[in-house]
Amino acid sequence: MIKILIDQKMDKEVGLDFLGFSAGGMDFDGLIKRDHPNFTAENADTYVPSFYEEHKDEIEKSQGELSELLASKEEEFFSALQNVFHLDLRNEVYKGYVSIFDLNPRFPETLSFQVYYRRPLPLRLEVAIHEITHFVYFKFCDEKIPETKGKDKNSGLLWELSEVLNVILLNTPPFRAILGEEEKLFYPGLQTLLDKGKTIFEEEKGDIEKWVTRMSE
C-alpha cells in the first residue's frame, strides 16, 4: 500500500537538515536556494507555514494527482518487485510526502520518502517508484544477505549499490512499462560502479543475491 501525504513539520525539518549539504556530486543546498533563496535556519518556523498557506491549492493538487496515479499502478509495481526480489509486500505501508523542497530524500527506517510537489507528474511517479524499490532492496538484503544487516542505508557501499541497482532494475521492461521513461543515475560519482553493476547483473541473470555479493567483493 502506498499513501501520499502532506506534513509541514517534517518538510521544515528536512529543509533545515539539507541546508549547506552536498553528497555524491549533488548540491542539495543549491537546490534549496534555487527555489527558496530566502529560506534560512532563522526564519524556517515562519517561512514554511507561510509558503504552504500561499501555495495550498497547488500542493494539495500535487498530492492528489500522485496518489491517484500510484493507485492505478500499484498492483503492477508490486508484482514486478515480487518477480525480482521474491517478496510479496503488497500489505506493507509506504508513505510519500509532497515537499516544497526539491530534495526527494528517503527514510528507510520509516519506509517513507519525500517528492517535490512541482515536479511533473511522471517525475513524481518516478521518485515514488525509485524510493520504494530502495526499501524493498534493503529488506531483501536484511533477510537474505546477513553481512549487510545493520549497515548504513544512507551512505557507504550498501547505499551506493541501492542507487546503482535502481538504475538497472527500473530500466528493465516490467518497470519501464510502469514508468514510461528511462531511469537515469542521480549521482554522477557512481557512474563507474553502475558500469560494473550492469555487467555483473547480466552475468548473474538478474539474481540479486549473487549480484550484491559480487558487487561487495
The string of pLDDT tens digits covering residues 197-210 is 999 999 999 999 99
Distance CA 129, CA 148 (A): 23
Distance CA 182, CA 49 (A): 35
DSSP type of residue 175: H
Measure the CA angle with vertex 104, ends 16 and 174; round to 5°.
Answer: 165
pLDDT, position 188: 86
pLDDT, position 180: 93
Q: Which residues contact 10 (CB under 8 A, 6 or more apart)?
A: 97, 114
**Mean pLDDT, to the nearest integer, of 177-191?**
92
78-92, 149-163, 164-178, range with the lowest pLDDT: 149-163
Is pLDDT at 24 greater than 80 in this prediction? no
pLDDT, position 86: 95
pLDDT, position 151: 85
**Mean pLDDT, to the nearest integer, of 139-168?**
90
What are the boundaries of each domain within the chain?
A: 2-215
pLDDT, position 206: 94
Is pLDDT at 183 greater than 90 in this prediction? yes
Beta bridge partners of 2: 94
Long-range contacts at 157-161 (CB < 8 A, ≥ 24 apart): 157/216, 160/190, 160/193, 161/193, 161/197, 161/212, 161/215, 161/216
What is the residue-averaged pLDDT of the chain?
A: 95
**Mean pLDDT, to the nearest integer, of 60-83?**
97
Confidence label for 13 from pLDDT (cuts 50, 70 and 90): very high
Pair 166, 183: CB distance under 8 Å: yes
179-133-118-45 Cα dihedral, nearest 10 degrees:
170
pLDDT, position 149: 79
pLDDT, position 9: 97
pLDDT above 70 covers what percent of the chain? 100
